[in-house]
Amino acid sequence: MLIKRITVGEIKVPLKVPFKTAVRTVTEVHDLVICIETDTGLAGYGEAPATAVITGDLLGSMRAALDLLAPRLLGRKLMDFNALLLLIQRSVIHHSSLKAALEIALYDLRARAFGVPLYQLLGGGDPQLKTDITISVNDLDVMVKDALRAVAEGFDCLKIKVGGHTWQDDVDSVLAIERAVGPHVALRLDANQGWTAKHAVLVIQAIEKAGVALELVEQPVKADDVAGLKFVTEHTLTPVLADEAVFSTRDALHILATGSADIVNIKLMKTGGISQAIEVASLARLHQRTCMVGCMLESAISVTAAAHFAVAFEDVVSYIDLDGPQLCASSAVDGGMRMNGPWITLPDAPGLGITAVHGLTHIKVFDV
């Protein structure tokens, strides 16, 4: 079974409401979509968002890197799988989202070749997950309204974006949302690197003293401020989650070995794909820590892949943040994960279970 064709295009999907964090505001998903086909007629899908402020990836830079990578994959045997993964990882540095998209398409293909869902190929069991949903940074009344709407839709875990205002505004937002939704709804905070270490401790301790038990606080400080991350972890009771601080297995090993965070966030777009995500999960298991599986602003293609991964590593994955498709106003994907409020269900179909992607533009084809 040989790789015969690689097709790349772009997908645009509007969001229900603008997605606002401490570092950016986004109104649509605008991602690269890759389809890898074999000479037997099988096709596998992958996706990569252009999240410049986090991964450094741009649509143009990913397309340029694909001009280098795609010809190297053409004509290769799909079952030389590890060699293909190494080729992707070693042919260029950085470009983690593009590498993830290519890996996802290959894993999709391999599972289809064996006739099983990807989560089964990876060793997983129950194909159902429960995700949180994001509440964007906004005026306090808007955030409370968005939180109440999410709870009415069945979500009992909210990820509140903070770090875009003063420390008191952040505290007030959390307390107001907690009063509105009640103590039965779990609250996670995500500062998206928006605080200093001292600022983070001030905010978290103020919320703790107010009697609000946060489930976790995500990436309170700058990605490269590991000492600051450790300071926050050691001076608060709330579990601290490292997100932007953990891209590679080396990053994960340093964070875990030094106790700089309690949890690590695995995103396929940061690790560069499923193969590296497996290594990060294994490191977390070795250090007796847990993980979150999250996503960027992505459509159902790559989020479906992340869900398959999370199911396969449920022993070490304790937190799910895969609400990307739920934030979209529509879907261009047939098949794949199904969402019913917070519940994600994976299909029994081979691979990712995706049968078609519609509305692709700027299409380019690489052929043998």
Under 8 Å between Cβ of 185 and 157: yes
Does the pLDDT value for residue 81 go beyond 80? yes
To the question of whether residue 159 is assigned a binding role by annotation, the answer is: yes
pLDDT at 164 over 80: no
Q: What percent of the chain has pLDDT over 70?
A: 100
Q: Say which CATH superfamily domain 3-115+358-367 falls into.
A: Enolase-like, N-terminal domain (3.30.390.10)
Q: Where does CATH 3.20.20.120 sit in the chain? A: 120-354
Cα separation, 345 vs 336, whole angstroms: 9
- Is 218 flagged in the annotation as binding? yes
Q: Are 250 and 228 in contact (CB under 8 A)?
A: no
Cβ(296)–Cβ(192) below 8 Å: no
Task: Write the pLDDT tens digit of every residue in 3-13.
Answer: 999 999 999 99
> Known binder of ligand: residue 80?
no
pLDDT at residue 165 in the model = 76
Binding residue per annotation — 243? yes
Q: Of 4, 20, 230, 267, which residue is the catalytic one? A: 267
For 210-224, the pLDDT digits (tens) are: 999 999 999 999 999
* Closest CA relative to residue 243, chosen from 172, 136, 161: 161
Instruction: State residue 125's pLDDT score.
Output: 84
Mean pLDDT for the stretch of residues 138-161: 97
- Average pLDDT of 188-196? 96
Asked whether residue 209 carries a pLDDT value surpassing 80, the answer given is yes
- What is the predicted pLDDT for the residue at 22? 85
Quick count: other Cβ atoms within 10 Å of Cβ 104?
31
What average pLDDT score do residues 285-301 get? 97
Q: Is the pLDDT of residue 166 over 90?
A: no
Could you tell me if 26 and 18 are in contact, meaning their C-beta atoms sit under 8 angstroms apart?
yes
As annotated, the residues of the chain forming the CATH 3.30.390.10 domain(s) are 3-115+358-367
Indicate whether this model's pTM tops 0.95. Answer: yes
pLDDT band at 233; cut points 50, 70, 90: very high
* Residue 134 annotated as binding site: yes
Q: Which amino acid is at 223?
A: A
323 annotated among ligand-binding-site residues: yes
Least confident residue range of 159-168, 254-263, 313-322: 159-168
Question: How does the average pLDDT of the chain come out, rounded?
Answer: 96
**Does the annotation count 161 as an active-site position?**
yes
Q: Is 139 annotated as a binding residue?
A: no
Structural fold of domain 120-354: TIM Barrel (3.20.20)
pLDDT, tens only, 103-112: 999 999 999 9
Q: Tell me how long the chain is.
A: 368
Residue 297, annotated as binding a ligand: yes
Dihedral (CA of 240, 255, 133, 351) sign:
negative
Active-site annotation holder among 20, 99, 161, 230: 161
Residues of the chain with pLDDT > 90, as a percent, come to: 97
pLDDT per position as a tens digit, 12-39: 999 999 999 988 899 999 999 999 999 9
